[in-house]
Structure 1
Amino acid sequence: MEPNSCHGLEVEAKVEGGPAADTKMADLRVRVEGSVFVVERALLEQGSEYFRALFHSGMRDCRQEELDLKGLRARGFAVALQVLAGGRPALSDDDEIAEAVECAAFLQVESLTKHLLDLVDSDNCLLMYQTAAAFGLLELYDGAALLIRDMYPDLEEDLKRLPGELVEYVESLAPSVFVAVGTHTSCTTAELPHAATRTVCYLDEDENDWKVLTELPMEASTTMAGVAVLDNRLYIVGGVCGGRRLAMESCFCYDAATNAWSALASPQQLRYNFMLVGHEDHLYAIGGEYEKAIMASVERYQVSTGTWSFASDLPRPVSGGACTKAMSRIFVCLWKPMETTEIYEYLPNGDRWTLVATLIRPQSYGHCMVGHRDDLYVMRNGPSDDFLRCVMDCYSLTSGQWTALPGHYANSRGALFTAKVRGDSAFTVNRSATLEYTVKDKKWKPRTQLRGFPRSGSMWTFFLRLPKADTRPVRNPALHS
């Protein structure tokens, strides 16, 4: 069986070698439709709430050597087994997706639900949404609905084929909006006259205008700080103040739902010019500098407990690196020495870094990296004789191949280095214009030009969901299916 496919399913499906490998480990036969799967009992107990409850129920079924699962499809169960064994199978057709969703719901396989969430895209989101609603898989249902809301103009015609209550639920959700904040140090008494520019602004795409969302706290610095969004909250960690680049201890969180700022504990190791990324209740502060010394250390902040702890160091010290997420995986891009780009993945479960890919390309300075579906896009300035030209390469996590995007992209004043992805669009911005690109088939095609961010200097960009004016609850069809 191919690692990323469930086609060609044989009668005796096996996990990690099957009975020929170790009959003591693969000790359970599961019959689904006409296929028999020989599976490690421990694998099912660890990954499925259904099997965990069954094996501890004391019922006769929990002691049998063969189980017969009624009402499921063999192909969906095969997908579940691949995911439980650590695989990331691609789902090739609508029936396969629907069968996997059914299996995730019936057997309560959390890892399969998360994998399905990673696979939600513009091609399958309507199917995922409707199928998740039918089987009551709420996490997938909400994830697909949010993507549909973000891509509503592109999917509006196709949405008409869905039941009215499903359409109504999508329309009740708040779409993601493009948000930007300039780089500012903490506001001292001498800087009070300029405090009015210390604002976080969002782009109203309907009115083609930037509007103030909130003001930065007086003590907050966004200069060389770590800036990230996690669970629709904006986090600003560290930064510097003054010409001597004094590291800041202050850290803040902005909750878009309540329009309120709160302070949070500072890292154990102060740092600036570092990468900050949010993932599953954690913020990761990666690399950076302190007192002009470049660091490899990594700290993680657990949001639920409000505490910092050290994680495994980067493979080498780095400041000003690029970091992004794709398929719910964390990647960093290191580009020094100047000719070499290395992409590393951080594995939270094992607390370790692993080298994913290396690319040799001439460049003059800087880079940016964003994720779209299973692709990583790395942007960099061209060689020193053409440093205003921006070149782009794409790395496929599925195929493990690099692709150089044809042509080049103008990067006036670093606009492309502000790139952020929403759905199938990448947004970039500078003072002159906000450009939206359509990302498709490993190409970026200009789509829309909107007003530029009305602030000078460099900036941070991200997406937030802002509460609607009408906050009356809307009936969630998935809760009543």
Structure 2
Amino acid sequence: MSAEEMVQIRLEDRCYPVSKRKLIEQSDYFRALYRSGMREALSQEAGGPEVQQLRGLSAPGLRLVLDFINAGGAREGWLLGPRAEKGGGVEEEEEMDEVSLLAELVEAASFLQVTSLLQLLLSQVRLTNCLELYRLAQVYGLPDLQEACLRFMVVHFHEVLCKPQFHLLGAPPQAPGDVSLKQRLREARMAGTPVLVALGDFLGGPLAPHPYQGEPPSMLRYEEMTERWFPLANNLPPDLVNVRGYGSAILDNYLFIVGGYRITSQEISAAHSYNPSTNEWLQVASMNQKSHRRLC
């Protein structure tokens, strides 16, 4: 068998060319089919390319899987980037939204047992697709993908919780002893070693960070082993610098800073949350009125 030998995959009334060598290398389904001798192949004409018939799959999902196989793996932006590329992927007139496309892709990759593609999905989890990938992992029995989605949702818990689709997946448990998805994520997020964080202007005194160079940081973390304060790489957002009298609260391992006043005595209503899992600040909905009273 030469490396250039091609196979035509027929789905309904259309055929899609794919390298036979790469097909056998990448697809456990076709590898087992050829090794067993049960090829179930047709021939269009004498000396023509071999044809393999498939049923029950969607054309967009199959094309993406075959594009992946023909390319010998994923190109940059293969899944999350533009998909209407000439000569491969989903054609422009049939371009689908990411959620729908993922469903077709995972179905085809699971049926054809393209393990390398399914493994690639572990690194493709995003806020835009984590809930759909989690659902698909449950449907097709993909524990590694399910675990990758859970880890991502733990890190981005509040952002995921705000998505309308979450309530479809996070239904209350049906049997005694079952734990809801929301509770499972919350418990995982609260696991680990607590860290003390301080916010403010540290120009000296007992909280002066070590080592200290350049501009004074506005966020510090306390290291219990050395009994010293160290600057956090991500300081306060610019609009929180020189703000005093803000309220603070902790919820689900997020730190919330709300209200306060600037050194010009101007009260503010802005609210921000700090996610220690990503070391990032996010602006959240502002309060209904400006205030510098502390939260109770």
* 1:39 alignment partner, one of 18, 23, 38: 18
Separation in 2, partners of 1:73, 1:160? 28
Matched ranges for 1:174-185 at <5 A: 174-176=187-189
TM-score by length of 2: 0.52
* 1:142 alignment partner, one of 147, 159, 177: 147
Change (3 A) 1:128 1:142: same
Change (3 A) 1:437 1:61: same
Separation in 1, partners of 2:28, 2:14? 22
Letter in 1 for 2:51: E
Separation in 2, partners of 1:107, 1:123? 26
User: Deviations 1:180-209 (Å, cap 9, x if unpaired)?
Assistant: xxxxxxxxxxxxxxxxxxxxxx127xxx78
Change (3 A) 1:67 1:145: same
Change (3 A) 1:32 1:145: farther
The match for 2:226 is none
Separation in 2, partners of 1:34, 1:388? 68
* 1:162 alignment partner, one of 164, 169, 182: 169
Offset of residue 90 of structure 1:
2.3
The match for 1:249 is none
**Counterpart contact for 1:76–1:100, Cα < 8 Å:** yes
Indicate whether 1:98 and 2:103 are aligned. yes
Unaligned stretches of 5+ in structure 1? 1-22, 180-201, 210-386, 391-408, 419-424, 428-433, 449-481
Offset of residue 56 of structure 1:
1.0
Unaligned stretches of 5+ in structure 2? 44-49, 81-96, 198-212, 221-229, 236-252, 256-272, 285-296
**Structure number having the greater strand percentage:** 1
**Counterpart contact for 2:41–2:53, Cα < 8 Å:** no
Letter in 2 for 1:103: A
Separation in 2, partners of 1:170, 1:435? 20
Indicate whether 1:132 and 2:126 are aligned. no
Q: What secondary structure is seen at the aligned counterpart in 1 of 2:233?
A: helix
Separation in 2, partners of 1:95, 1:49? 25
RMSD: 4.1
Separation in 2, partners of 1:138, 1:438? 23
Offset of residue 162 of structure 1:
2.1
The match for 2:214 is 388
The match for 2:67 is 82
Separation in 2, partners of 1:172, 1:178? 11
Q: What secondary structure is seen at the aligned counterpart in 2 of 1:90?
A: coil
Matched ranges for 1:271-290 at <5 A: none
* 1:203 alignment partner, one of 177, 189, 194: 194
**Counterpart contact for 2:169–2:181, Cα < 8 Å:** no
The match for 1:330 is none
**Counterpart contact for 2:42–2:52, Cα < 8 Å:** no
Q: What secondary structure is seen at the aligned counterpart in 2 of 1:416?
A: coil
Matched ranges for 1:238-257 at <5 A: none
Letter in 2 for 1:175: A
Offset of residue 436 of structure 1:
3.5
TM-score by length of 1: 0.34
User: Deviations 1:28-78 (Å, cap 9, x if unpaired)?
Assistant: 100234442211111111111111111111114268610121111222122
Q: What secondary structure is seen at the aligned counterpart in 1 of 2:169?
A: coil
Change (3 A) 1:175 1:437: closer
* 2:53 alignment partner, one of 65, 68, 80: 68
Matched ranges for 1:450-461 at <5 A: none
Q: What secondary structure is seen at the aligned counterpart in 2 of 1:160?
A: helix
Letter in 1 for 2:233: L
**Counterpart contact for 2:10–2:54, Cα < 8 Å:** yes
**Counterpart contact for 1:132–1:141, Cα < 8 Å:** yes
Q: Compare relative contact order (CA 8 Å, sep 6+) and give the higher one, 1 or 2.
A: 1
User: Deviations 1:210-240 (Å, cap 9, x if unpaired)?
Assistant: xxxxxxxxxxxxxxxxxxxxxxxxxxxxxxx
Offset of residue 86 of structure 1:
2.1
Instruction: State the identity %.
Output: 26
Letter in 1 for 2:232: A
Larger Rg: 2
**Counterpart contact for 1:48–1:110, Cα < 8 Å:** yes
**Counterpart contact for 2:29–2:111, Cα < 8 Å:** yes
Offset of residue 446 of structure 1:
5.1
Letter in 1 for 2:168: R
Change (3 A) 1:163 1:414: closer
Change (3 A) 1:437 1:170: closer
Q: What secondary structure is seen at the aligned counterpart in 2 of 1:126?
A: helix
Change (3 A) 1:99 1:176: same
Indicate whether 1:113 and 2:113 are aligned. no
**Counterpart contact for 2:170–2:182, Cα < 8 Å:** no
Change (3 A) 1:30 1:410: farther
User: How many aligned positions are there?
Assistant: 191
* 1:122 alignment partner, one of 124, 127, 130: 127
Indicate whether 1:172 and 2:184 are aligned. yes
Letter in 1 for 2:31: R
Separation in 2, partners of 1:437, 1:163? 24
The match for 2:7 is 28
Separation in 2, partners of 1:40, 1:133? 31
Change (3 A) 1:178 1:135: closer
